[in-house]
Amino acid sequence: MVPGTVNELSEHDRLILDIEKTSPSHIERESLCERIGLPIGRYSGVLEGLADTDAAYGYAPFVVERVRRLRSERFAFERRQRRWQRLLH
């Protein structure tokens, strides 16, 4: 976890967390990205990065917990499929 306070979140960070609270559609995510100047391909990476901060957890704990759980499930699936081993060779 990266320490921080809610006050350290940028306005864009808060917008991303706010939209994730509502189970957004792809269109809503694209609209937000266009509005804040974030390439849609980077959205997931930014959200994943936010999930590693105390500030985001303090602001939107349910969103952060969901992102962490999904990431953990994705990693476990990759490990079961032995996909991670292909990356090493």
Q: Name the nearest CA neighbour of 11 among 3, 1, 19.
A: 19
16 in a structural domain: yes
Q: How many domains does the chain have?
A: 1
76 in a structural domain: yes
1 in a structural domain: no
Containing domain of residue 47, as a range?
6-88
pTM assigned to the model = 0.76
74 in a structural domain: yes
Long-range contacts at 31-39 (CB < 8 A, ≥ 24 apart): 36/12, 38/12
34 in a structural domain: yes
Who has greater pLDDT, 89 or 61?
A: 61
Q: Encode pLDDT of 16-63 as tens digits.
A: 999 999 878 889 999 999 999 999 999 999 999 999 999 999 999 999
pLDDT above 90 for 11: yes
Instruction: Give the integer Cα–Cα distance in Å for 59 and 11.
Output: 12
67 in a structural domain: yes
64 in a structural domain: yes
pLDDT above 70 for 7: no
10 in a structural domain: yes
Instruction: Give the residues across from 53 on adjacent strands.
Output: 2
Q: How many residues does the chain have?
A: 89
